[in-house]
Structure 1
Amino acid sequence: MRTWNIGIIGAGMVADFHARSIQHISNARLTGICGAGSGRAGTLAKQYNCREFPNYQAMLRSPEIDIVTIATPSGLHMEPAVEAALQGKHVLCEKPLDISPERIDTMIAAHAKAGTRLGGFFNYRFTDTVHLLKDAIEKERFGTITFASIHVPWWRSDAYYAHKWRGTLALDGGGAMMNQAIHMVDLLQYLVGPIDSLHAYTATLAHQIEAEDTATAILRFKNKALGSVYGSTASFPGQLRYISITGTKGTVILEDNSVKMWQFADEVAEDAQIRRQYATTTGSGGGASNPSAIPFELHAKNIAAFILAVETGEPFEIEGKEARKAVEIILAMYISAKENRSFQF
């Protein structure tokens, strides 16, 4: 079995999740890491017994490296992703893929031309409960889906935003929606389908930042269902995120990774087991108030799925074009809020 040598570009908090994840994948090896000069890359390289590269250009020129993960600030994703394509390296990039459709399209085009793979991190997709929910939708157990909503009532302190790039439009691309709620926006479109139109409001109510810390929108999906979105980093003390989907024959509510409601008109034998097995959320609450309080195992599943796609040539479910969709929806919310109008996709 081939071992895939992986380098990490970026040495902030999320790089540690990538490093731990790679160490738990049997056919992957963490080969190197590079940062922006803070010294953290050297610390991580010693911790994980890998090479510290002076910059991403040097890493991408290394014949050792097969795949890179990108964990830099959001507005700095495109440049290393494009350079990686030019150097023949596959890329798995943190969310958001980048902060504008134009920059994302440049990334996608570069990898399409090079014949390399570009994928994104949306690790919530790899939970058992999301798999079960997706299966129920595909089996049409909801009948006609009538409403779907996501709720991300999280909290971030002023200290969190003391990092100079957080909450900025140039490097973060936005606030609570683009950085925190984007995972749930991805799940909403992944599960319920494309959005037809939305009307949004955004506000900065609790923090001295350039971007929003609170946002909401009403939606109409292409399948005629209605929906809503709420995302915030101004909801003390931070509560669990949830997604709710309801229709003419069923309702499911997932809170974090647990099942709070799983009820269908046409009950099957597995339903009772699902309610029992996933009734309780374990762990720390998915980063509701502490961004580091998330399990690394879902990142590991995301990386392993990408490696499998590279090995086999099969599609990866979060290819560049798929990872782009959540960014497009959030930017539509920003336009709608700024111009006080509905946005039509």
Structure 2
Amino acid sequence: MSKIWTVAVVGCGIGRTHIFEGYSRHPDKFKVLVVCDLSEERRTAVAAEFNIPRHTASFDEVLAMPDVDIIDVCTPPGLHFEQTLAALKAGKHAVCEKPLVGSLAEVDALIQAEKTYGRTILPIFQYRYGNGVQRAKRLIDLGIAGKPYLGTVETSWWRTADYYAVPWRGKWATELGGVLVTHSIHNHDLLMYLMGDAEQVFARIATRVNDIEVEDCASASLRLKSGALASLSATLGSTRQISRLRLCFENITFESGLEPYRPGDDPWQILPANQAVQDQIDAALKGWQHVPTRFEGLFAEYAPGLETGKLPVTLADARRALELVTAIYTSAATDLPVDLPMGADSALYKSWLPTAPVSVAQCEAP
């Protein structure tokens, strides 16, 4: 019999969704023992809704609980690094919502901390799950799609002043960024998940929709390591909310549906170049087994992954997503293209928060 992992969920906003869509769908894999939130009303409501035996306002109390295997960090982004690191030091595995942390330096510190403390961090990239994206992934991995040509990713969502009435939102120190880190990061991860890593980025950002510190509009032009090109656009000012990916390969063009928060789900269009390619597609997808969507699909693979070490999403994946964020912010600050990968010598390696201007000289190659 496989182990049932015991969980403490810290933060009952998106944390409730983790419980509802993830843990509660897999009672043979997880048991939530405690919820932690500063709001007594919110944590008692979530505990009652899901029959969770304990609740507390104290994160330190959670760290000290000997019967907790996993701490799920669903707090505001500015707390993620210190709380995830504290979980590892306490001997717990850690699930952490996006953005994982606020810099490449912090994610590299967590990569080292995993080795030091012998515990695992499980980043959240739930959009990878669903029949649509997973069918595309299979065809790409089998080589049926062929050479990647061009990808476009649109994250066109709608956020108003009411959304930013929550005190930590819209501020660099607490949200760590805007549309790039809180909204479009999942869709941009999907691009690289399916088409491969970025090699160069040129980007612009702007704050045009709301009276906030962070950006709410962004566009970027990418060259991928494969030689393929990609364009990204993200806004929080679209009165019709959509997420859309269109990926053109040598033999197949993939088009996602438009559902903003479930882009991995069907319907995805799989458009072959000819009948011979269609025959290959039919053979590859014959007997397809349903892939649960979002957190249900992700958490289903996290449980066995903790035992085997073969995780569906790793810190390397989280670093790749944050590296793209860093490159976009760097390019926008300097009006220059930025090459990837980015290491400790990169101008915004320690932080992309705009506490000081980034000079052109910092970003030019020697």
Which residue number in structure 1 is paired with residue 311 of structure 2? 316
1:203-223 Cα deviation digits (max 9, x unpaired): 111101111111010110011
Which residue number in structure 2 is paired with residue 76 of structure 1? 79
Are the equivalent residues in 2 in contact too, given 1:153–1:235 (CA < 8 A)?
yes
Once residues 315 and 27 of structure 1 are traced to their aligned partners in structure 2, the CA distance between those partners, rounded to angstroms, is 16
1:160-191 Cα deviation digits (max 9, x unpaired): 11111112211211111111100011111111
Matching residue within 328, 351, 355 for 1:333? 328
Which residue number in structure 1 is paired with residue 98 of structure 2? 95
- 1:261, CA displacement in angstroms? 3.1
1:264–1:301 Cα change, 3 Å: same
Once residues 93 and 271 of structure 1 are traced to their aligned partners in structure 2, the CA distance between those partners, rounded to angstroms, is 36
Which residue number in structure 1 is paired with residue 46 of structure 2? 44
- 1:86, CA displacement in angstroms? 1.1
Once residues 204 and 307 of structure 1 are traced to their aligned partners in structure 2, the CA distance between those partners, rounded to angstroms, is 40
Which residue number in structure 1 is paired with residue 18 of structure 2? 18
Aligned length: 324
Once residues 89 and 48 of structure 1 are traced to their aligned partners in structure 2, the CA distance between those partners, rounded to angstroms, is 22
Matching residue within 199, 214, 218 for 1:215? 218
Q: How does 1:109-120 map to 2 (within 5 A)?
A: 109-120=112-123
Are the equivalent residues in 2 in contact too, given 1:141–1:264 (CA < 8 A)?
no
1:102–1:37 Cα change, 3 Å: farther
Once residues 177 and 195 of structure 2 are traced to their aligned partners in structure 1, the CA distance between those partners, rounded to angstroms, is 24
Once residues 164 and 54 of structure 1 are traced to their aligned partners in structure 2, the CA distance between those partners, rounded to angstroms, is 19
Once the two structures are overlaid, the 10-residue window that deviates more, 51-60 or 151-160, is 51-60
Are the equivalent residues in 1 in contact too, given 2:129–2:293 (CA < 8 A)?
no
1:17-54 Cα deviation digits (max 9, x unpaired): 11212122122111001113464223222222221123
Which residue number in structure 2 is paired with residue 291 of structure 1? none
- 1:111, CA displacement in angstroms? 1.9
Once residues 254 and 114 of structure 1 are traced to their aligned partners in structure 2, the CA distance between those partners, rounded to angstroms, is 40
Q: Normalising to structure 2: TM-score of the pair?
A: 0.83
Matched residue type, 2:95? L
Once residues 100 and 211 of structure 1 are traced to their aligned partners in structure 2, the CA distance between those partners, rounded to angstroms, is 16
Once residues 280 and 206 of structure 2 are traced to their aligned partners in structure 1, the CA distance between those partners, rounded to angstroms, is 43
Once the two structures are overlaid, the 10-residue window that deviates more, 202-211 or 248-257, is 248-257
Matched residue type, 1:23? S
Q: Normalising to structure 1: TM-score of the pair?
A: 0.88
Which residue number in structure 2 is paired with residue 262 of structure 1? 270
Matched residue type, 1:18? H
Matching residue within 301, 308, 315 for 2:297? 301
Once residues 98 and 247 of structure 2 are traced to their aligned partners in structure 1, the CA distance between those partners, rounded to angstroms, is 24
Matched residue type, 2:51? N
Once residues 260 and 110 of structure 1 are traced to their aligned partners in structure 2, the CA distance between those partners, rounded to angstroms, is 39
1:321–1:81 Cα change, 3 Å: same
Matching residue within 231, 237, 240 for 1:237? 240
- 1:304, CA displacement in angstroms? 2.4
Which residue number in structure 1 is paired with residue 250 of structure 2? 248
Secondary structure in structure 2 of the residue aligned to 1:161: helix
Which residue number in structure 2 is paired with residue 4 of structure 1? 5
Which residue number in structure 1 is paired with residue 356 of structure 2? none
- 1:297, CA displacement in angstroms? 5.2
Are the equivalent residues in 2 in contact too, given 1:143–1:248 (CA < 8 A)?
yes
**Identity between Structure 1 and Structure 2 (%):** 28
Which residue number in structure 1 is paired with residue 124 of structure 2? 121
Once residues 250 and 154 of structure 1 are traced to their aligned partners in structure 2, the CA distance between those partners, rounded to angstroms, is 28
Once residues 294 and 233 of structure 2 are traced to their aligned partners in structure 1, the CA distance between those partners, rounded to angstroms, is 23
Are the equivalent residues in 1 in contact too, given 2:35–2:55 (CA < 8 A)?
yes
Secondary structure in structure 2 of the residue aligned to 1:77: helix
- 1:260, CA displacement in angstroms? 5.0
Once residues 273 and 169 of structure 1 are traced to their aligned partners in structure 2, the CA distance between those partners, rounded to angstroms, is 49
The reply on whether 1:143 has 2:179 as its aligned counterpart is: no
Once residues 270 and 197 of structure 1 are traced to their aligned partners in structure 2, the CA distance between those partners, rounded to angstroms, is 33
Matched residue type, 2:33? T
Are the equivalent residues in 2 in contact too, given 1:252–1:259 (CA < 8 A)?
no
- 1:273, CA displacement in angstroms? 10
1:28-83 Cα deviation digits (max 9, x unpaired): 11100111346422322222222112312111210110111110111211111111
Secondary structure in structure 2 of the residue aligned to 1:167: coil
Which blocks of at least 5 consecutive residues in structure 1 are unaligned?
A: 279-295
Matched residue type, 2:330? I
